[in-house]
Amino acid sequence: MTELLFRDDGYLRSCAARMIGSDERGIRLDRTVFYPTGGGQPGDTGRLRLASGAEVPIVDTVKGDAPDEVIHVPAPGSMQPAVGVEIIAEIDWERRYRLMRMHTCLHLLCAVVPGAVTGGSVGDGRGRLDFDVPGASLDKDAISAGLNKLIAEGHAVVPRWIDDAELEARPELVRTMSVKPPVGAGKVRLLEIDGVDLQPCGGTHVQNTAEIGPVEITKIENKGRQNRRINLAFVG
């Protein structure tokens, strides 16, 4: 099992960790700051630094078979540190921060566009969400303006955990969520953007919407009769 440090602090760039396993899929650590691909957000890249000064470049991070298992995928041909070795795990922070900004921006998009989200993807500098909007035509400029207003207003972004009992005791929470939480999981991680959006999410986010910076809707595509794909990108 890996301790997932990014869950409580998405701003951690590195951590000390110990090798607990290594196979053809990749490297497992006892704790990590590397986010594994999931929820539309790509896995982190970065490096593992050894005490000797040697480095193992990490080109991707994915989930393993067990819950909370994280596989750090080394660049082909790189050395494999032995199990038990202490290393420093360090992500490519500039890239991760862009992914955090875009991921948080997609939460805002959920609040601006009416209709259920049917898919999405967080990219480096760009992102997209698919919405089920029967018959409606979406106004690109209005969506851009609505998004940039929420960004500039500087809403606090707060992750918190909630258990099934609290969810049951507070049905109003579920009613305000744009995505319904999985039932029977015992514990759900919620992401709240103060006054704007509340939904279950395990990804990494910025702490305030102002960090996202200006964005623009680049394209709205028709993907099927009811499906609209909204593409956006950072400005500049």
What are the residues binding Zn ion (CB under 5 A)? 191, 201, 203
The smaller minimum CB distance to Zn ion, of residues 74 and 203, is found at: 203
> Which residues does residue 221 pair with via DSSP β-bridges, in sequence order?
229
Distance of closest approach, residue 25 Cβ to Zn ion, in angstroms: 26
Distance of closest approach, residue 156 Cβ to Zn ion, in angstroms: 15
> Which residues does residue 4 pair with via DSSP β-bridges, in sequence order?
32
The smaller minimum CB distance to Zn ion, of residues 90 and 192, is found at: 192
What SS3 state is found at 224? coil
Distance of closest approach, residue 139 Cβ to Zn ion, in angstroms: 25
What SS3 state is found at 113? coil
Task: Give Dmax over CA atoms of the chain in angstroms.
Answer: 62
Quick one: DSSP state of residue 45?
-
The smaller minimum CB distance to Zn ion, of residues 7 and 140, is found at: 7
- CA-nearest of 13, 104, 28 to 68 is 28
Is the separation of the CB atoms in 9 and 204 below 8 Å? no
Distance of closest approach, residue 162 Cβ to Zn ion, in angstroms: 15
Is the separation of the CB atoms in 81 and 14 below 8 Å? no
Distance of closest approach, residue 201 Cβ to Zn ion, in angstroms: 3
The smaller minimum CB distance to Zn ion, of residues 48 and 106, is found at: 106
Euclidean distance between CA atoms 122 and 106, whole angstroms = 8
Distance of closest approach, residue 205 Cβ to Zn ion, in angstroms: 6
Length of the chain: 236
The smaller minimum CB distance to Zn ion, of residues 167 and 191, is found at: 191
Neighbouring C-beta atoms of residue 85, cutoff 10 Å: 15
User: Which residue's CB comes closest to Zn ion?
Assistant: 201
The smaller minimum CB distance to Zn ion, of residues 125 and 224, is found at: 125
Close Cβ partners of 14 (under 8 Å, ≥ 6 residues apart) = 33, 88, 89, 90, 91
